[in-house]
Amino acid sequence: MKKYFVLLVSIIIGMSHISAQTNNGLVFWLSGNKSLKDASGQNVKIQGNPLHRATDPLGNEGKAYVFDYSAKNPTHFLKTDLDISPKQYPELTITLWIKPSNTNSRAEVIVQGETKEGRGLGIAYKDNTPCWAAHMGKNDDLKEGRVTAQWHFLAVIYHQAAEKAWLVVNDEVFSGRTAIRPTSSSDNTLTIGKFEGQISDLRVYNRMLTLDELNELAGKPIKATAADFSFKIRRDFKKERKEKELRQLDSLPLRIVYVKELAVYDTTEGKNIVTYLHKGDTLRLLRRTSEYGIFEYANHQVGRNSLNTLIKKTYPSGQSSLSAFFTHGLQNGVDYTSWRFWVVILLLGLGLFFLYKYFVRIDAYLIYKGQHRKVESARKGDTEPLQAPIVTYLRRIFPIQRFRRWTFLIGFVAAATLFLGALIDGSELEWFINGGFTLFPGEDYHGFTYFLWAMTMGVMLLFFLMIVESFVSAGLVWGFIRIIFITVINVLLMIVALFAAIAVLLIVVAVIAFLFFGSALKSSLNQNYRCNKCGNIIPDGGRCPYCG
């Protein structure tokens, strides 16, 4: 008897421990109380008619809320002052019981603000079938599980650092990828119930729930293991670079100004500019916060500026100015508004034009030097006849005489990769360039990353074929010279083609904006008015031809 009593006490203690754990991190809970105030203390605002109560899945009367959001009741939903964005909660779990009464239309059950580009849950169609849809930011919704007019246990789990989300539908688990840069909403409210049906026991946690906790809330085992909820945090190369720059700033406080002018702000509020430092001037970092640095400059004067400015516009005294030119140029990008920059691009384009024009002659000369050799006779002083060109299998694959400029594809493909990557998903391109590329796609590769990987592998393959062709066609020495020559051309081609595409894009946007605002301005200037005396319609600013 004593054994059974100890066992019963252990079970009770274990269950209470699980329940306590389940309440850990709870930031919102619609528990079915009469006051319509969640158990976490958040204030729930009622929009439209008061909600009716119904019986929850366990048979408890009044513990479920009935929603009737439709064209007849467009304001029949709940709102609460809760921000569930990734910035507020990098990890988040939403659980609820839900019973739709209309399974044949799209709906928003839970949404941040008024749009579905944040986190949340809704009903959408997948292959003409209504499914539960977990919102993934700007990425496509995770649509899984058929929607029926029965009670469903749902859970949506987010882990922003891993860029991953899980959708639990009853006892099944699905996973997908969230957006890298989630949409930031200015509306820090949570909208609940823009659908027709019932909701019970809605909870929001500021962490990932464990499988045991989900099993407890679901009331039955979920068909999953801990491995189904495993994740790999994607390396943040941008953050790592910033931390490295800060460590360098601390270890090498003596800095040299890189730009033409560097503003020095006062040390009190940092709003007033005291003076300017110029290129080549030195400063010494005295101390810093997480946002700005206090430094000493000429005649032991003290000023401050942001850490970002000090990192981008100065370099340590031990670094050469040439090295600073390349590192700052690559990291800080380019100034599209500077006419000098576009003049440089234009000059590079002209140089590339002449290289393209005379490429066949130069390339033929390099191959000629590699395929023929002149041997002088020490006795007679005459020269041996030139040997016949070497015909190789590679020359049959790449008939140079037919398509001499095929190597220009290297620069074009590289430029297209950078341009399309920046245009479609700049943050993904930044991650890919900063170290995300691997020879074989890994777990971090999703969707658009495969396109970047394929284009990069195409560039590498073309470059490899160019190297092989150069050595086979022109020999070791002249083949190496040919490789350098073609590489320089393709680097210039990549730069010119990339910024030419950017220039075209800027011109197109400017023309569209000019046409739009121009037509709007023209219509506003050409408005007609009614004469106050005779009542006839006259143009703006004109004299009435009827009454003068």
pLDDT confidence tier of residue 116, bands split at 50, 70 and 90: low
pLDDT at 283: 94
Q: What is the mean pLDDT of residues 115-122?
A: 79
pTM, full prediction = 0.63
Q: Is the pLDDT of residue 286 over 90?
A: yes
Q: What CATH number does the domain containing 208 carry? A: 2.60.120.200
| Residue 254 pLDDT exceeds 90 | yes
Range of lowest pLDDT (106-110, 314-318, 389-393, 458-462): 389-393
Q: Which of 1-10, 320-329, 505-514 has the lowest mean pLDDT?
A: 1-10
- pLDDT value of position 387: 45
pLDDT of 62 > 90? The answer is no
What residue type is assigned to position 292 of the chain?
Y
| Residue 77 counted as domain residue | yes
> What burial letters (b/e) apply to 329-348, b meaning 16+ CB within 10 Å?
eeeeeeeeeeeeeeeebeeb
How far apart are the C-alpha atoms of 436 and 59, rounded to whole Å? 52
122 and 31 in a common domain: yes
User: CB under 8 Å to 492, separation ≥6 — which residues?
Assistant: 348, 351, 352, 355, 411
DSSP 181: S
Q: Are both 221 and 267 inside the same structural domain?
A: no
- DSSP category for residue 376: B
The pLDDT tens digits for 480-538 are: 999 999 999 999 999 999 999 988 988 898 888 888 776 665 655 555 656 666 666 65
Mean pLDDT rounded to a whole number for the chain: 81
Give me the pLDDT at residue 80, please.
86
- Please indicate, yes or no, whether residues 142 and 253 belong to a single structural domain of this protein: no
The tokens 């210039």 sit on which residue? 492
* Two tokens, residue 398: 């790449």
Same domain (yes/no): 158, 142: yes
- Percent of the chain predicted with pLDDT > 70: 79
Average pLDDT of 93-121?
86
Question: How far, CA to CA in Å, does 71 sit from each of 75, 76, 196, 463?
Answer: 9, 10, 11, 61
Whether 110 and 37 share a structural domain? yes
The DSSP symbol for 62 reads T
For 429, how many CA atoms within 13 A lie in the half-sphere containing its CB? 15
If asked whether residues 471 and 361 sit together in one domain, one would say yes
d(CA 490, CA 412): 8
DSSP state of 410: H
Asked if the structure places residue 153 within a domain, the reply is yes
Instruction: Please check whether residue 440 lies inside any domain of the structure.
Output: yes
User: What integer is the mean pLDDT of 252-273?
Assistant: 87
Range of the structural domain that residue 456 is part of: 344-525
Residues 354 and 321 in one domain: no
Tell me, what's the pLDDT at 480?
Answer: 92
Q: Are 401 and 477 part of one and the same domain?
A: yes
Which CATH number goes with the domain that contains 269?
A: 2.30.30.40
> For residue 270, is pLDDT > 60?
yes
Residue 539 lies inside a defined structural domain of this protein = no
Do both 468 and 499 map to the same domain? yes
The verdict on residue 536 lying in a domain is no
> What sign does the CA torsion over 265, 268, 272, 274 have?
negative
Is 4 part of a structural domain of the chain? no
Residue 161: is its pLDDT beyond 90?
no
Do both 446 and 318 map to the same domain? no
pLDDT of amino acid 190: 87
Say if 32 falls within a structural domain.
Answer: yes
- Number of domains composing the chain: 3
Same domain, 361 and 396: yes
Instruction: Provide the residue count of the chain.
Output: 548
Mean pLDDT computed over 70-97: 87
298 & 184 share domain: no
**Across residues 266-291, what is the average pLDDT?**
88
In the prediction, which pLDDT does 463 show? 94
C-beta separation of 470 from 485 below 8 A: no
* pLDDT tens-digit map of 97-107: 999 998 888 88
SS3 116: coil
Task: Looking at mean pLDDT, say which of 109-123, 361-375, 481-495 comes out highest.
Answer: 481-495
With respect to residue 339, please indicate whether it lies within any of the assigned structural domains: no
Please name which of 236, 103, 224 lies closest in space to residue 175, comparing C-alpha atoms.
Answer: 224
- From 162, 194, 229, give the residue that closes a domain: 229
